[in-house]
Chains A and B, each alone.
Chain A
């Protein structure tokens, strides 16, 4: 939430963003967050979070066209503030689709192509996470990855869709 405030500041082009709450949290002390009093006289005191400027945002989309227009189905989670705050945006996507398909429902395009620096079509690219509506979380794969033994990372990487032989 405070991270998102920082991303919002970056996407709005301002140095900091006021945020609700935080009072009574030691996070303010360790992060050096400052308090401002409402300059319009309500008397309320609000924490202000400094802008967070990610160098690169990488998101996984459902569909993308040749111009980089990227469509996401279901919840966008944090894709919107993240792509607006970052200096560069990279997209991976499940499928390449014709631009005419995106024209039919442009409101489903989460990132317009002019913002996207590079993209790759990576089917199953969210594995072992889910990609709505194509596939769900691969819970057994997540459980194997969390086992505490040698070789877990190597086995996980070898099983990933982008490296596994098809």
Chain B
């Protein structure tokens, strides 16, 4: 089965989760929310899923369109609200945090503040929502873009909102990885077999190594079933695939 931008992103966000980890998805993070719910259904290991609505190990009956909808708390045996999960991150207790970006550079720094100069922006963005604290304090951070363009994947950010332990960037075409240490740069790890490394190079604003990059492993039956169930009616995939 061919990948869609939606299935490629959600599946590869989920594949970043490791056994035993405590993972977190925040506001405006519908795809990471779906990735965590997919991993719960498709992977045969335990991990803990916390979300920005205060849910801990939620069992949502209806998965909401918004990743901060209280519906994503349904079935939680505990409420772990904003102060709690931010403090957990600050003291080093969150293993994997999903944080969004408008622009990202080769060292995994993100801009969610402004396009153009801070003083005279052409676009004023919503802001970090905790990114400046979470990116350097979470053990690993993963981000995503639903487009893959040199405008978003840039050589130089217009503004550095956050800097730190970014380890993965997932787009419809590619998965880039880097180490959570200063100076480490993204390298191409996995590419969508429906595209080519040359095409990815052409559409990426920063330079990267693609030595050893491999085509994506196909979706497993478990991943496919879980995604179909989560996206019943196609309401999530429609927003990404158009």
Contact = CB atoms under 8 A, between A and B. Distances in A.
Interface of A: 1-2, 4, 19-28, 30, 74-78, 80-81, 130, 132, 136-137, 139
Interface residues of B, number: 36
B32 to A, nearest CB: 18
Given A22-B133, A26-B161, 6 more contacts: A1-B133, A24-B109, A24-B160, A25-B160, A27-B113, A74-B73
Contacts of B134: 1, 21
B100 interface: no
A20 B73 CA distance: 27
B118 A26 contact: yes
B162 A74 contact: no
Given A75-B70, A77-B82, A139 B133 contact: no
A75 B53 contact: yes
Given A74-B54, A139-B65, A25 B132 contact: yes
**A-side binding surface: helix, strand, loop or mixed?**
loop
Contacts of B86: 1, 4
Contact of A137 (B66, B132, B160): B66
A84 to B, nearest CB: 11
Please indicate which of the listed interface residues A25, A26, A27, A78 has the most CB atoms of chain B within 10 Å of its own CB: A25
What are the 8 tightest A-B residue pairs by CB atom distance, in nearest-first order? A75-B54, A24-B163, A20-B90, A21-B133, A1-B130, A25-B132, A1-B133, A132-B70
B137 A21 contact: yes
Contacts of A76: 54, 79, 81
A28 B65 CA distance: 33
B193 interface: no
A21 B135 contact: yes
Contacts of B55: 75
Interface in B74-94: 79, 81-83, 86, 89-91
Interface string B161-183: 11110000000000000000000
A26 B159 contact: yes
Nearest to B70: A132
Contacts, number: 95
Contacts of A22: 132-133, 136
A24 B54 contact: no
B43 to A, nearest CB: 26
A73 B197 CA distance: 51
A77 B84 CA distance: 10
Given A2-B132, A20-B90, A81-B83, A25 B161 contact: yes
A75 B73 contact: yes
Contacts of A80: 83
B107 to A, nearest CB: 10
Nearest to A3: B130
B64 interface: yes
B79 A75 contact: yes
A132 B81 contact: no
Nearest to A25: B132
Given A75-B73, A137-B64, A137-B69, A21 B164 contact: yes
With a 10 A CB-CB cut-off, give which of B70, B130, B163 has the most chain A CB atoms. Answer: B70
Contacts of B113: 26-27
A48 to B, nearest CB: 13
Contacts of A25: 128, 132, 160-163
Contacts of B132: 1-2, 21-22, 25, 27-28
A34 to B, nearest CB: 15
Given A20-B133, A78-B82, A130 B161 contact: no
A21 B135 CA distance: 8
B71 A136 contact: yes
Contacts of B91: 20
The interface centre, meaning the residue of B54, B71, B82, B133 with most chain A CB atoms within 10 A of its CB, is B133
